[in-house]
Structure 1
Amino acid sequence: MKSKKFNFNKKQVYYPISFILIQMFFVVSLAKNRTDPDKIHDVKDTNYVNRLIQQSSNLWSSKPDSLILLADQALLLSIQLNYSKGEMSALKNLGAGYYEKGDYLQSIFYYNRLLGRADSLKDYKKQAESYSHLATSYIALGDHSKATQMLYQALRIAEKYDLKLTSGHIFHNLGMVHHYQGKTDDALNFYNKSKIIYESLGDTSKSTFILGNMAHLYLNKKDYKKAGDFYNFSLVLAEKYDNKKGKGNALQSLGNFLVQQNMPLRALDFYLKAKKILESTGEKTEYLRLLENLSHCYIELNDDKLAFKYAYELYNLSVSQKQLYYIHTSADLLSKWYEKNEEFKKALSFLKQSKNAADSLYNDENKQNLVRLEEKYKYEKNEAITELVHTSQLEKKQKLLVVSSVVAVSLVIVAMLLIINLRQRKRSHSELIDSKEFIEKQNVSLEEANSFKEHLLGVMTHDMRTPISSLNNILQLFDSNLLTSEEIQRLMLSCHREINEIVNLTDNLLLWIGAQIYNRDVEKVRFKLGDLLEDEIGLQQLNASKKKIKIILQIDENLEAFANKESITIVIRNLINNSLKFCNPGDQINISAALSKTDQVVTIRVADTGVGMPKSLTEKLLKLNKRKLSRLGTNGEEGSGLGLQLCLYYLSLNGSELCVESTDGQGSKFWFELPS
């Protein structure tokens, strides 16, 4: 078979003068920066490169032109900064962008640059990725032999260094090669391996294409149930990840499925939806398949005019992209159309083109010849280009130096102005965000302060007034001299209880008010927990004895904590007092403190066997500045809810929080953690 003449594109050789000057500017800047280590490792600049790379990566399968623009900026800046990681990522994105546009030779150019950079840095992960991505472009060009060679080279590296994600990509591409070669079972096996790897790594975003390809094969095998299930699942995943290329793929695949089910009119609706999506992205690879599907669909609908239109558009696009598979299919469609319309000369011409393309795809000998001729041509052309560029540089060296100096100075000024403007915009934006966050925090603080004031007034008007009124009534009864000695004894006990409640409430109220007024950082020290706990238990022992409640302490006497001792004392006191309030005679309170396994945190627990709480109450219990959530104790003790709020507040000052577990009728357990 005669090899086709290679269409040399001058744009690949003769760059516009502005592009050459920009390249020289960055090379000069790079030379300067290499003498200044601080500039080479400028974190702000590398962060900017990373943002450009991330933005371009987000445009895969959606906007290839924008992807290329951003990746090109990232590449130039990475070269300037000598930032190898950014350079390789930018080259990878450029390869992907040109692949999506259908410019497979340019895609191969950037992937080869990526491979060369990875080789020089001995980055085996990037080496494997480069081989696999190169194979993708060669598959599109119909060079399955070279693609397979590169894929197995990539697979050897991936298996040696346990690169699972890269292996998933390689198996998918091997599936594509076998798919195009008509080896259905082998293709399904490779696709399934790829799917399993991606899903084991928690990445289902790739499955939309894998499932679609598997569905094509099941459709060819007449397994319509599996094909339909896989097509629908592929569309669901594409919509989940808003993958426009994936949506276009899945929609037209469903169209194929409907054509096989003899429903071409319904299929056309799916094809046209896919066409609208793919045209909006500028992506060309899937668009070729769509044109072929539209042509076949209109044939089924007996619309020869539109069938011819899309077949001819497919032919022109596949020729420009050197897509042998689609040259073969489009030429075959056009040959049949011209034969049907009795234009036999044109029919024969397209039939020959179809056969030549098929031979190139499926005939190994022709394929190898094509590769050798293309490689030889590329070598000779590169030699000619190198010589031409060298001669041109020698002749124009002096002129170019003068022009580049003037342009470089202009570019520096423009770049500086752009950078200053960009930084000012970023600074203004950052200040606006900071102001907004500050205002929101202030609003939250004001709401909490108002809530606290309302709660405080409620406590003062009810919780203090009630026991004082009770005391006043008791004293009036004493003055009346109408009480018996037994009644006096009983009222004295009641009076003692009321006074204790007032004292506890007043203590907590004063501590809480002080905490709100003097809201400042607390001083933290290291102290022995055993001494603190023993002192507090001693203070509460009288109340425990009256209610016949046993307090048990379990702690290593040398155990220490790092916190504000006074505030932790208040927390312990309130937790023990709370447990006493809700225990019946014969119950016990277990107080313990122990180190964590890492010896960095000490956990302090106060657990009782008292009446406990329902789950609905525990969910509301640990919220600051809310309406009080208190219950009567086992001896009728009242509470303001202020004690627990003090615990929450002081623990927050110490970087800790209060936790609770409780079962109604089975007791409660409170605990918190402190640094040891």
Structure 2
Amino acid sequence: MLSEKNLVINYKTSLFPIVVCALLLFSTSSISAQSSNERDSLAHKLQRLKSTNKFNPKDTTHIKLLVDLAFSYQYLDSDSLYSVANRALQYSKKIDYYHGVVRSFNALGNYHYNKGNREKAMPMFKEALELATEVDDVDSELAILNTLAQNYSFEGNYAEALNLNLRGIDLAREINDQKTLSVLNENIAGLYADQKDFKNALMFYDTVQKFNRNLGNETVDAETQSNMASLYKDAKDYKNAMFNINRSINIFEKHKIYDWLAYAYQVKGDIYLDQEKYKWALYWYDQSDMLFKHQIEDDRIQIQLMNGMAKVYFGLENDSLSLVYAKKGLALSKKIKSLQGQIDCSETLYKVHKKKGDNPEALAYLETFKSLSDSLFMDKNKQSLSLLETKLGYEQEKKELIEANEEALAKQRNYIYFSVIILLILSIITFVIRRSENIQKKLNKELKDKSQAVIQREAQLHEINKTNTKLFSIIGHDLRGPIGGLQGILKMFTEGDISTKELVSFIPKLKTDVDNISFTLNNLLSWGLNQLNGVVTKPKRVSLSYLVNNNTKLLSEIAQSKSIKIINQLPENPRIWADNNQIDIVIRNILSNAIKFTPENGLITIEAEEKGDMWQISIRDTGVGMTAEMQRSIFKDSSNITTYGTNNEKGTGLGLSLCKEMVQKNNGEIWVESVPRKGTTFYFTVPKAQNRYQKAS
């Protein structure tokens, strides 16, 4: 490709068109003869992989190559991008390859966004970002944050764009990702540049160039220089603008980076357009246009190019071509829902029609321009409207409106003064009347608040006394006995009343008592914290099978001692959305009770069934069962009856009360069905986890 260094600029009208035509013809043939080395390399690797005997399309190596190939089509062949990324997504889902799912969603989101379909793109970006965070895929998370920030900036939502860039910078600093730090700081510089805050923009560009020097990558540096050239152009510093854009063009041509090269050509055209050098501006716009026709599919840059060419032809007095390009840019802006593109092209069309004397069309585009400008800039992002308002005389309109309002107010001033006097008199009378009412209301409110506070405090004290009573009852009744027995045996041993052999014979009994004490203390601690609001429910994605298997193993020794068989009939890997520790306590207590009240050679069955958006878990035993009266009382907080199992096992009397509280905290219900001497079934429900691609807890 040619750059300005290869040109001898001649401003004679007769020679210039010949030079431009020759250069354009040469550029077209050069572009069509070139191909992307990156895509060729990826395609070659894919072909080699497919030719191996053990090739599997669901292999992660194959998926990675597919995703890389999809991204290589961005701005070049959107249909190929969509097709390849969609294949990669399907393969990734089938093998739960989360990294592939994240990158495929990112690629598909870019496809839809570049097509103007924000409604499809943004959910894909957000789902990809959430999954990348969950599976700790930092590289993908940074890439998506960068993409989202650029998209929000393109939409004019600078506050959200800045927030995402700052979030990405924090993450990139944690892993010392110099390249991403360069990109994100450059994004922020672009936000300031869009608001014409050139001082702050250049400050961030200084930071970007420091990162670029550390990277030593001339391509990355060229991308920065092309953006800085655009900033210098907006600041009317054409010397620095031309210096930066020429350097970046040389590097992009050298490495055949067509998407950035098309942008750089367009920026160079903008620089000449700003200086009213229309023929040179047209030449560089044509260079950029050639790339769009043969290599690039980037509608956002093409909109700027179409509007730039429309302005050039307007400056060259060729109003018909100016209309053609401005209308192309407007149509493309509407297609991808680019508000800024519609604003810029509407402004150009207004000027062209105004010059032609076509006042109705000019007025229509002026109204479109004004309404779109208002909708874009009337937000909290501190965007500047001054330049556009000055160009179309908005300040003059505001001034005239203010003067008209002041004139109308002057005519009504006497009425206002009169009204103020009457209102003042009425206000004094109203003040005197309402003052006493307000004082009375205030006193009533204070009395009511204090009464309510006393009632609440009384209720709190009642609950505290109730809790203390229950704690002391359990400690005195269910813990003191086993601990006292253990203490007595040890005292007899130390005093020589029993021999070592006799002490050893007590060990199975002591172990059972210690296990019961431990289980009771765990329940007691959980219940006590619950009553004192010390437990916060933290739901997350949990494997129900994992909880059931753990508790089955934990209680297997007790079950085996009674020859009780525990059957796990859960479906394959059910996932719930609940607090892991609380549901663990529920399962352990119900399963422990089932073992406790089931005689020897009994059977315990654990099942789960889907009920809408809930899982219904049941634990069924062939134990002694319960009467109807007992079923009504077992879940009550006031219930503190210690019961004994079929082998005289002790309990605290608070296990099922605790289970009820834990289940309810997780938005579930618990109930029991029982027939005396036949068995008991406990049921409880918990919400199902969402079907997302993530690892279970």
TM-score by length of 2: 0.44
TM-score by length of 1: 0.46
